[in-house]
Structure 1
């Protein structure tokens, strides 16, 4: 539980810390934030292939930032996270149980085929989100100012994610009304 809270806090504060540290702290030292974020993910390694790829990629970015003392490798971390999530969600579409259904089953429920199809479609929507969000994060990392990158990766992308969660929740309520009574 503590590691999960630490991971979330580091993930949320990471873009802000990079922006505030830019020009004041060498990127090789800012890389320690990314190393800390990777370390907090270690308990999840046994659970998820996406977590393993995410941690491995983060360690490569840390090494690149330390070696080059450039900020760009650190700004690529949100791109890596989106790619890892995309990989996990997209891979689940090749299996009988999609990522969204797997999460829904954590509550111990079984679902009829119509609900399984709905959750598979929601998984596809999330894949689209990760593609677009990752592409925008890449674009801001390569061509925007540190402030614009930080604003997008630290605020706007989370707001868009929350908006998608909210819209999907409303669609799900309607879906349940139409298909369960």
Structure 2
């Protein structure tokens, strides 16, 4: 079972490149069904949102076009993450605060405020990235869709993590200095 989980995780991350590579030989319907299954199964922390997103992809495939539904995978992922992060701002503890408390259980009040702001910034990121993913799904060719959603968007995520890490280090050094 461990190898299956690892393979599914790799497929989830490499979905746009997998689609680019297999779309011509498999066609959009099998890939759409695999994508819907991956979303519903691989996001257990957001199971309700993930199932709704998978149903949305399938509905687009049935009502409009299977390839558009298949290309909706990155849009669905961004939507699930946006819903999860945004909901956490109103219910319970913001996602970034939960993550921060794993390392620092006694997070000071300024840390709580900072993690709330970072959660909000991630919400904006998921909105913008999801909108670009939707544009590439609807208007770009498969190569550009795969490039943006399988390479560029991951680079932007890395920039977000790096930028946040840099900001956090600067804030911490100014608190101690």
Question: Shared fold by TM > 0.5?
Answer: yes
Tell me the distance in 1 between the aligned counterparts of 2:142 and 2:101. Answer: 40
TM-score norm. by structure 1 comes to 0.85
1:132 alignment partner, one of 103, 128, 131: 128
Query: Is 2:150 aligned against 1:149?
Result: no
Whether 2:170 is the aligned partner of 1:177: answer no
* Aligned-partner Cα distance in 2 for 1:128–1:79: 14
- 1:14 and 2:10 aligned: no
Q: Counterparts in 2 of 1:3-152, with a 5 A limit?
A: 5-38=6-39, 40-41=41-42, 44=44, 48=45, 50-62=46-58, 65=61, 70-95=66-91, 97-107=93-103, 109-152=105-148
Larger helix share, 1 or 2 = 2
**1:132, distance to aligned residue in structure 2 (A):** 0.5
Aligned length: 176
The whole-number CA distance in structure 1 between the counterparts of 2:163 and 2:17 is: 27
TM-score, normalising length from structure 2?
A: 0.86
Once the two structures are superposed, what CA deviation does each residue of 1:2-40 show, in whole Å capped at 9, x if it has no partner?
476444312222111211223332211222431441464
Shift of 1:95: 3.6
Q: Quote the offset at 1:173 in angstroms.
A: 0.7
SS at match of 1:93: helix
- What's the offset of the Cα at 1:107? 3.2
Structure-2 separation of matches of 1:179 and 1:84: 35
Query: Structure 1: any 5+ residue segments left out of the alignment?
Result: none
The CA RMSD measured in Å over matched residues stands at: 2.4
Query: Which structure 2 residue ranges, 5 or more long, are not aligned?
Result: none
Q: CA deviation at 1:59?
A: 4.1
Distance 1:66 1:19, change over 3 A: farther
Structure 2: distance between partners of 1:160 and 1:14: 17
Separation in 2, partners of 1:66, 1:96: 36
Q: Does the CA-based 8 Å contact 1:41-1:55 persist in structure 2?
A: no
